Amino acid sequence: MKAETVYKLACAIMFEKTGLDPDFQTFFPSLVTMLLQEALPYENARRETLGQPLLEKAPAVTGMDDEIPCCDLICQVALPYGMASWYFQDEMNDYRSQDYRGRYILALREAALCHGESVTDCYGGSPSCRP
């Protein structure tokens, strides 16, 4: 997904028209790069579960045309929430900033799929206890 799409989604959840806040647009690449660094372990957990190659490092966004190689849940939900958190922090609205920060973290956790591993019975439980 392109960085510009994430920017538009972030503006939409804040009911802001794109381009009206030049500072938000100017600092968007740097801020989303910071969010992607936080999202890296969750994206890699998802990739590991799906048998996909892991990202060696978080992608850096330098412009709106940059492609963000993360799953849809991170790009379409987590990153816009994270950007909204930064926006409301700048607006000195601590309540909304923390609300969107919590939504960002929850979306990251939902993006990380659980993966099962085999378990060895090292206690030798009774056969009658087994299903």
Give the chain's domain count: 1
Tell me, yes or no, whether 43 lies in a domain. yes
Which pTM does this prediction carry?
0.80
SS3 67: strand
Cα 90 to the chain's mean position, in Å?
20
HSE on the CB side for 48, CA within 13 Å? 13
Domain with 61 in it: 3-116
SS3 2: strand
Tell me, yes or no, whether 22 lies in a domain. yes
Tell me, yes or no, whether 9 lies in a domain. yes
Tokens 């993006």 -> residue: 111
Each of the 131 residues of the chain gets a pLDDT tens digit; together they read: 899 899 899 889 888 777 677 777 888 899 999 999 999 999 999 999 898 999 999 999 999 999 999 999 999 999 999 999 988 877 787 888 899 999 999 999 999 876 666 767 677 665 655 55
Strand partners, 67: 2
